[in-house]
């Protein structure tokens, strides 16, 4: 477009009843309105969420238990101190430690088609191949059911799980959920079938060059086979090659290993409630990341949302009635020990967590909030919608939760989650592409602003 | 995030009354539902909008009147023929032709600070500097009012308009609209004040290296000064340098020129209405672009939306009652001659344009539709919202229009516009960064799908 035209004033739209159903009794508290506007102006002027994120990503990948994860803990602790947050401290959590090692190689060898490198990476938690690698024929399947039906054909083979994420799902997290069992349990199923390794199509939409890692698991009683992800482009090449030469061989070599557990930390800082300090509104994200990129969207962006939300509340002098606490958890990616240890810590005695909101869906344009706890709770949060709409938050509905905060549900906390646009998330997720440059400063900041406003309203109004 | 978690099913959210205000009497036409789902599945499976866009951007920039613009006309005509559209033809329009020329240089020269190159580009329609360039002192202003108040201080100076887009506007088109007069009329105001050139801060948010061009205008009675845009980074450097050395000199050299008008074309193709072929639902975008990038978001994305929408309607065998016509207009960027000539063409006799929808806000995630024509029309379109919500279209409200289709308002057409997320648009707009890689295939496709569904509903239900 060319010359400035009559723009569509988004704010106006919201006053036309178009989206007004859920706001039969909206809060028309002008103080809240003013606070929300102050937070928004400050956020969009300074874009400090991106500055926080750049500090985090500069450390590099923050694999659970790694020295870089420890550096991130110290960075965030110091950042919280510098922001003048209350009660800044670390809470220990003993976490597992898996390392990728130096060597990762994949190769297709066919007497008909020649040799081709395949872009692969070990899955998190996997055992390594023998030192010289392993080579075997390949059995391609789209599901565990198909694998089971093939019976003896799997014996001695690399089982190649090649079910793509369904592109027709508009919510890409749904497509992820439907395809992820291949990654998580592919090695178990391959072992049961008599295979020698699991090779899993990367969980991303479309064709790309980069493998996407992620957690895999073993089960007692099944052999612990090496498991690796292959890029979607590699998977398509391998699949086409198998049609031409079903006898082709794949070589895999990985050197990953599980080391001894180490002590790491959740990082905690808060704005103490002026009236009910023991009532906590927790804003959470996870500080650990996968090791291939910089963990920018997953979950550096979430960390930036939380720290920036606290900074905005602090600098606009909001003085919440209840405590607004930021917790950057350790070890979401390998099993959530940080979240569990936080919930059961001695320090929780005398505290009451009213609500816990997690940001762990990337730093894209925020479009909604998922709210657990049933209809009445949802309706209460929906009554604040007019304060969030100007940001582009267009729905508040059932949902919420996350690995880190879910242990708090037991003690009655309402779980919530910020939901950004999902279209681009899996382009980056768990891959070398998840770097600072993949995050847009304004999209990220809008998420932080929305989190700050919702956190503030929860602190003032309770739930 | 790590393991697949209970996702938030977006579709479910829409059934909870949260966004249901405007849908008191929704159309529960299962045929429409089925059609919308067919269109969505086909679109997201094939992502053909991106293929169309890649064909268009491969031509390169399509400056009005240029040979590449002519190549784009032929590409789209052939594409329409290949898709089996009806009544594919070109409609001539005589357009102006401006060329950038070979030379564009900017340089800051200061006895205190030394010499620095400045990243500049001529604005569209500008005269060139003298062949050897021009050099002058610089007067920085933030508004026309400030310039006028400075009186004689402007004499002999390069007037440097340095008002940034307001980052606190959540709708970035609003910020653009508020800052754009500097670009459009800066040269006129500079001439009135006795200046020798206009140098205008690029219309983009944040700091970047790349200048953003766009149309500027002259007025009778004022000298035709050369006008150029400077990158926001260059503008910040120049502004800081002026504080240290107000006597610094800027050299500008441009070689742009306005040539003779040439005949170009709007490209038209349609799916003829089965029952009321003379009643037209027009889907429009513009084929011309600025010359610095590939015109990917502006407005290759709009062109891709329209062609893909027609393809989806054709392939799903929708057989609309009224004619759904795609028009890719020429010369939006230099004044909209294509749109005007389309509206007043002899060919319009016997036709009745019920609605005209333009896509000219980029290929980002679609979030809404602007609808002109008043409340009753709006309510009718809102009653179809349930069919668009699953795509993430979260509002339908007042707005719509665009340079190309606005001449159709006179004859009673309802003007509409698709509104994608605006946060990233001005990072690319009118700059060398507006290339294919800046467009996301799924975001683009969702816009095409939404356009197809709305176009179909308009064709069946009228307005």
pLDDT band at A12 (very low <50, low <70, confident <90, very high): very low
Domain of B201?
101-255
Alpha-carbon distances, residue A272 vs A200, A310, A407, A444, A455 (angstroms):
47, 11, 23, 25, 13
Give how many domains chain B has, as a whole number: 2
C-alpha–C-alpha distance, residues A272 and A416, integer Å: 21
Q: Are residues B444 and B339 in the same domain?
A: yes
Question: Do A277 and A233 sit in the same domain of this protein?
Answer: no
Smallest CA-to-CA distance from B19 within A85, A223, A79, A21 is with A21
Measure the CA dihedral B131/B133/B139/B145, to 10°. 20
Helix (H, G, I), strand (E, B) or coil at A443: helix
Residue B113 domain-assigned?
yes
What is the C-alpha to C-alpha distance for residues B408 and B344, in angstroms, rounded to an integer? 9
CATH code, domain with A116: 3.50.30.30
Question: pLDDT (tens digit, 9 = 90+) per residue, B76-112?
Answer: 999 999 999 999 999 999 999 999 999 999 999 999 9
Dist. CA B217–CA A333, nearest whole Å: 56
For residue A132, being part of any structural domain is answered with yes
Binary contact (A5, B402; C-beta < 8 A)? yes
A292-312: pLDDT as tens digits: 999 999 999 999 999 999 999
Q: Is residue B193 part of a domain?
A: yes
Task: Please check whether residues B87 and B171 belong to one and the same domain.
Answer: no
Cβ contacts (< 8 Å) between B370 and chain A: which residues? 8
Q: Are residues A43 and A122 in the same domain?
A: no
One domain for residues A141 and A76: no
Residue that is last in its domain, among B255, B285, B318: B255
Please determine, for residue B26, whether its predicted confidence score (pLDDT) is greater than 90: no
Do A241 and A276 reside in the same domain of the chain? no
CB A227 within 8 A of CB A197: yes
Report d(CA B361, CA B173) in Å as an integer: 9
The answer to whether the CB of A300 falls within 8 A of the CB of A289 is: yes
Residue A9, domain member (yes or no): no
- Over residues B390-396, the mean pLDDT reads 90
Q: Do A423 and B403 touch (CB under 8 A)?
A: no
pLDDT for res A46: 97
Residues B327 and B425 reside in one and the same domain:
yes
Residue where a domain stops, chosen among B237, B255, B273: B255
Q: Are residues B322 and B178 in the same domain?
A: no
Contact between chains at A18 and B176 (C-beta distance less than 8 A): no
Q: Give residue B326's pLDDT.
A: 98
Q: Which of A227, A255, A283 is the last residue of a domain?
A: A255
Q: Are residues A234 and A308 in the same domain?
A: no
ipTM topping 0.95 = no
H helices, E strands: number in chain B: 14, 16
Residue A188 predicted with pLDDT over 80: yes
How far away is chain A from the Cα of B360, in angstroms, using its nearest Cα?
5
Q: What is the CATH number of the domain that holds A51?
A: 3.40.630.10
Q: How far apart are CA A461 and CA B457, in angstroms?
A: 44
Measured CA to CA in angstroms, residue A127 lies from A98, A122, A217, A256 at distances of 10, 9, 10, 6
Subunit contact B423:A401, Cβ cutoff 8 A: no
Smallest Cβ–Cβ distance between B22 and the set A17, A41, A424 belongs to A17
Residue the block writes with tokens 């198909």: A146
DSSP per-residue letters across B205-228: SS--SS----B----TTS----EE
Q: Closest by alpha carbon to B64, among B101, B99, B97, B100? A: B97
Structure tokens at B111: 């006895």
d(CA B58, CA B53): 8
Residue B198 phi/psi, 5-degree rounding, is: -115, 130
Do B107 and B76 fall into the same domain?
Answer: no
- Do B134 and B248 have their domain in common? yes
Pairing of the two strands A395-398 and A366-371:
parallel
Residue B4 maps to a domain: no
- Residues from chain A contacting residue B298 (CB–CB below 8 Å): 1
Min distance A247 CA to chain B CA atoms (Å): 31
What is the distance between the alpha carbons of residues B72 and A127, in angstroms, rounded to a whole number?
54
The phi-psi region of residue B47 (left if phi > 0; otherwise alpha if psi is between -120 and 50; otherwise beta) is: left
Does residue A320 fall inside a structural domain?
Answer: yes
Nearest CA to A253 out of A404, A363, A131, A385 is that of A131
Q: Do A3 and B443 touch (CB under 8 A)?
A: no
Chain A neighbors of B215, CB-CB under 8 A? 2-3
Distance CA A460, CA B444 (A): 41
Give the minimum alpha-carbon distance from B247 to chain A in angstroms, rounded to a whole number. 31
Report the predicted TM-score, pTM, of the whole model to 2 decimal places.
0.93
Asked whether residue A93 falls in the same domain as residue A108, the answer is: no
pLDDT bucket at B10, cuts 50 / 70 / 90: very low
Q: Would residue A4 count as lying in a domain?
A: no
Distance from the A358 Cα atom to the nearest Cα atom in chain B, whole angstroms? 10
Q: Taking CB atoms and an 8 Å limit, are B8 and A173 in contact across chains?
A: yes
Does residue A1 form part of some domain?
Answer: no
| Chain A residues inside the 8 Å CB shell of B45 | 167-168
Pairing of strands A134-141, A158-161: parallel
Annotated catalytic residue within A79, A294, A332, A445: A332
Q: A101: closest CA among A228, A8, A250?
A: A228
């Amino acid at each position: 477009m060319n010359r400035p035209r009559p723009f569509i004033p988004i704010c106006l739209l919201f006053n036309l009843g178009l989206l007004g159903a859920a706001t039969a009794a909206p809060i028309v508290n002008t103080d809240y309105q003013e606070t929300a506007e102050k937070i928004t102006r400050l956020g969009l002027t300074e874009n400090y969420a991106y500055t926080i994120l750049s500090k985090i990503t500069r450390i590099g990948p923050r694999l659970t238990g790694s020295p870089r994860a420890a550096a991130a803990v110290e960075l965030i602790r110091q950042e919280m101190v510098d922001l003048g947050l209350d009660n800044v401290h670390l809470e220990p959590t003993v976490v597992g430690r898996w390392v990728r090692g130096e060597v990762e190689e994949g190769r297709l060898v066919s007497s008909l088609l020649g040799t081709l490198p395949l872009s692969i990476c070990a899955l998190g938690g996997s055992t390594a191949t023998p030192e010289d690698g392993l080579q075997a024929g390949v059995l391609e399947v789209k599901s565990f059911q198909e694998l089971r039906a093939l019976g003896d054909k799997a014996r001695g083979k690399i089982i190649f799980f090649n079910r793509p994420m369904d592109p027709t799902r508009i919510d890409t997290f749904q497509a992820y959920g439907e395809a992820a069992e291949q990654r998580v349990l592919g090695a178990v199923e391959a072992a049961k079938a008599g295979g020698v390794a699991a090779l899993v199509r990367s969980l991303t939409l479309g064709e790309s060059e980069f493998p996407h890692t992620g957690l895999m698991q073993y089960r007692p009683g099944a052999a612990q086979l090496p498991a690796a992800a292959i890029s979607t482009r590699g998977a398509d090449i391998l699949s086409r090659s198998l049609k031409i030469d079903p006898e082709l061989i794949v070589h895999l070599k990985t050197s990953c290993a599980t080391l001894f557990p180490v002590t790491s930390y959740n990082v905690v800082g808060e704005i103490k409630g002026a009236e009910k300090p023991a009532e906590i509104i927790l804003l959470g994200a996870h500080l650990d990341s996968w090791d291939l990129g910089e963990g920018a969207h997953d979950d550096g962006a979430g960390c930036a949302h939380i720290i920036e939300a606290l900074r905005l509340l602090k600098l606009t002098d909001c003085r919440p009635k209840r405590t607004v606490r930021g917790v950057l958890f350790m070890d979401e990616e390998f099993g959530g020990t940080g979240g569990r240890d936080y919930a059961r810590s001695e320090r929780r005695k005398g505290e009451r967590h009213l609500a816990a909101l997690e940001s762990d869906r990337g730093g894209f344009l925020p479009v909604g909030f998922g709210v657990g706890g049933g209809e009445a709770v949802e309706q209460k949060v929906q009554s604040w919608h007019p304060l969030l709409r100007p940001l582009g938050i267009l729905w508040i509905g059932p949902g919420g939760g996350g690995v880190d905060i879910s242990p708090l549900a037991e003690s009655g906390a309402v779980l919530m989650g910020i939901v950004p646009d999902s279209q681009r998330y899996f382009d980056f997720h768990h891959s070398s592409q998840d770097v600072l440059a993949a995050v847009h400063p304004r999209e990220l900041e809008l998420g932080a602003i929305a989190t700050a406003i919702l956190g503030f309203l929860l602190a003032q109004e309770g739930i």
